[in-house]
Amino acid sequence: MVKVNLDALIPREDFEISDKTTSGNKKDTISIEDMKLKSFFITNVRKPDFQRETNEWEPEKVVEFVESFINGDLIPAIILWRSPTGYLFVIDGSHRLSSHRLSSLIAWINDDYGDGIASKTFYDGVIDEDQKEIAKRTRDLIEKKVGEYEDYKLALTNPDKVKSEIQRLSKNLGALAIQLQWVEGDVSKAEDSFFKINQQAAPINKTELVLLKARKKPSCIAARAIMKSGKGHKYWSSFSDEKQKEIQELAVEINKVLFSPRLETPLKTLDIPLCGKISSAQTLPLILGFVNISNGIYDNEEIHSLNDDSDGSETVKFLKETRKIAQRINSNECFSLGLHPVIYFYSKTGRHKPASFLGIVELVKELETKKKFDDFIEVRKDFETILDKYDFVVQQINRRFRYAKKSIKPLLLFYMTIIDNLKSGKSIEESVKETLKLKDFENVNIDNEYFESRGNEFSQPVKNLAFIKTYLKSAPRCPICRGFIHKNSISFDHIVRKEDGGKGTSDNAQLTHPYCNSTYKN
């Protein structure tokens, strides 16, 4: 489920490193007037730069909270810390979600659910379609269940022009307020409070915790940049202008390779992106895993052992290595294998498989290290047949190791053994059976585990399954390796080479994978 993106409404800021503490009286509550974007209060409110994005709530939850506030229901206090510079930092928690509550009210009052003035400014005018759609859905739900903030203002001067319920509730707004709770102490106390709160009741997951605590490591900065295509909060803003520009340009390139064209479901085209929906909850962990594996990092200890990136050089290095792998997987670069996402990264029912993506990333690295790309090309058609016919085997391997990162090495072993077996002349069935005899796969079942629902209505997975089964039969294949061709990775090849007298006519042209044309064929 796509969540409402309210990340632009409370800016991020780095905690100032200072031994000073701020004393003096502080507000006990905040009111409606304090939540207007140009108010003295909101102008100075910040989120710590390491805090997760404000995109955990679905439209119904945003509307429910706004409704609770208007009705005068009891609302938990928002926790703040005042820095020596005067900024008021929201000390959020996964079970408290202070920034989500505050941002929901700011969104309602300022009519910005991820697509308004503040959000457009934050994302440099580029709002993705999923974000626009969820913003519209939230606004429509607000209008239906609560009413727009402008209607409540109108009720004060022209009550006859609004609903009676809005007339009644508008009288309460002047007296309503949210309680504030303050963290006292210096910056270390504020940061400790943040992590303690986030580990209570509903702890944040391991990936998020890595991104928070290792926020200055190059892999984490690179992942954040790729996720938002260089837009939004710039975690790299302390670097020189030259390095910032380079980071943003690399992030845009990688994001385009991973998420273009946009995924729409149910599937009506095989031209789908490598990494599914960018708005998915699993996307940031997937990108972080991709960046790390591309740069030879496989666990959290290795991430934390990296030096903080002080000038952006390491982040650029990490991004360049990630770009190279992304382009090798699927792009129009001459060295691209053009791996088709439907075969390599999605289930038969159209569900994106993060473990398969990360496993193929490792496979690509292994083939490059061992100089075995040509071996892969020679058996590619049968290899892809195995991925399609036995996709449930890969899913079993992933489930056995519980999550994507732990299944990478077993998946690599499976893929490389399959390639070696095919290369030695074994049939598709023999290659699979021989591979599954290895001790690592002793509990993997070769029988198909997929069962369709027997209800009367077509579910989205069934629609996707029917589409993929139908259209894959006629999908274009590379005439050199016989693997499937994806629209993002096409090379125009002379059937009879130019040096052999081949002409530049349509009769002498064929569509191939870039690598097959530029390297393998030659």
pLDDT band at 20 (very low <50, low <70, confident <90, very high): low
- How far is CA 8 from each of CA 11, 73, 94, 115, 135, rounded to the nearest angstrom? 6, 26, 19, 10, 13
In sequence order, the 6+-apart residues with CB closer than 8 A to the CB of 13 are 46, 47, 48, 49, 87, 89
**pLDDT value of residue 226:** 97
In sequence order, the 6+-apart residues with CB closer than 8 A to the CB of 118 are 8, 9, 37, 110, 112
Q: Residue 375 burial by CB count (10 A; 0-12/13-18/19+): exposed, middle or buried? A: middle
pLDDT tens track for 321-366? 999 999 999 999 999 999 999 999 999 899 999 999 999 999 999 9
Query: Is the separation of the CB atoms in 233 and 49 below 8 Å?
Result: yes
Give the span between the Cα atoms of 277 and 128, in whole angstroms. 11
Please count the helices (runs of H) and the strands (runs of E) in the chain.
Answer: 22, 8
Query: Sign of dihedral through CA atoms 512, 366, 404, 235?
Result: negative
Structural tokens at position 368: 């490059």
**pLDDT value of residue 271:** 94
**pLDDT value of residue 453:** 57
- DSSP per-residue letters across 69-136: HHTT---PPEEEEE-TTS-EEE---TTT-HHHHHHHHHHHHHT-SSSSHHHHHHTTT---HHHHHHHH
Query: Is the separation of the CB atoms in 272 and 185 below 8 Å?
Result: no
∠ CA 453-458-462, nearest 5°, is 65
Question: Residue 291 is inside which H or E element, if any?
Answer: helix 283-294
Give the span between the Cα atoms of 139 and 151, in whole angstroms. 13
**pLDDT value of residue 209:** 74
Give the span between the Cα atoms of 384 and 378, in whole angstroms. 12
Structural tokens at position 129: 């379609």
Give the span between the Cα atoms of 75 and 96, in whole angstroms. 10
* 237 residue type, one letter: S
Measured from the Cβ of residue 520, the count of other Cβ atoms closer than 10 Å reads 19
pLDDT band at 17 (very low <50, low <70, confident <90, very high): low
Structural tokens at position 292: 């790390």
pLDDT, mean of residues 470-496: 94
Give the span between the Cα atoms of 61 and 75, in whole angstroms. 14
pTM: 0.83
Give the span between the Cα atoms of 414 and 438, in whole angstroms. 9
Give the span between the Cα atoms of 80 and 86, in whole angstroms. 12
In sequence order, the 6+-apart residues with CB closer than 8 A to the CB of 225 are 235, 236, 247, 248, 250, 251, 315, 319
**pLDDT value of residue 94:** 45
Q: Is the pLDDT of residue 85 over 70?
A: yes
Q: Is the pLDDT of residue 240 over 60?
A: yes
133 or 212, higher pLDDT: 133
